[in-house]
A and B are shown apart, each in its own frame.
Chain A
């Protein structure tokens, strides 16, 4: 089946620093989403981005579908950005929106 790999697995930043999280996938995909899971377990949908670039405040994401990767940029990080960031993909031949998740990048932002 399709493989989703995220890097780095862990990241520690000082408040105000910038970071880039990467998601590689092994096959063509229909759908790619980035999620943030906060320390209480809530999973927040950050971007739905099967291709191209999107921005939302201090966060932006780029997916290059032909090269099978996506990047999540966090600028001027804040302590509230801490948590786990997941990338999830949906195969084109899937029946029913079955998302395949990566293992996540755990981000810790220190004050």
Chain B
């Protein structure tokens, strides 16, 4: 079935460690997005990519990095510079970069050890 796969479902980070969250889609969508959700809150945009080899910062990009080397994949790295990384991370994709419905993966819960 077509969809968006995020892995792992749960991730623990030690102090000073970088961790990478995986997002893969087989929907042939051009655009991909990373959002962060804190408890009791809506989602906030971290990074987005309209096309392969291109990406832009969202509203809360500090402490995060991404790459878009393949159309299907948009991994997110949470660096040690992100001082409050504990959150629920959701990846989304859409057919094109604007005016299109976005579809979401099942998310990754990141916690600090």
Hey, which bits of chain B sit against chain A, CB under 8 A?
31, 33, 41-45, 48, 50, 56, 58-59, 88, 90, 94, 96-104, 106-107, 109
Contact = CB atoms under 8 A, between A and B. Distances in A.
B42 A86 contact: yes
Interface stretch (A63-71, A72-80, A94-102): A94-102
A50 to B, nearest CB: 8
A38 B7 CA distance: 19
B56 A96 contact: yes
Interface size class of A (residues with CB under 8 A): 20 to 34
Contact of A104 (B42, B101, B107): B42
A90 B102 CA distance: 11
Contact of B31 (A45, A86, A96, A102): A96
A43 B33 CA distance: 14
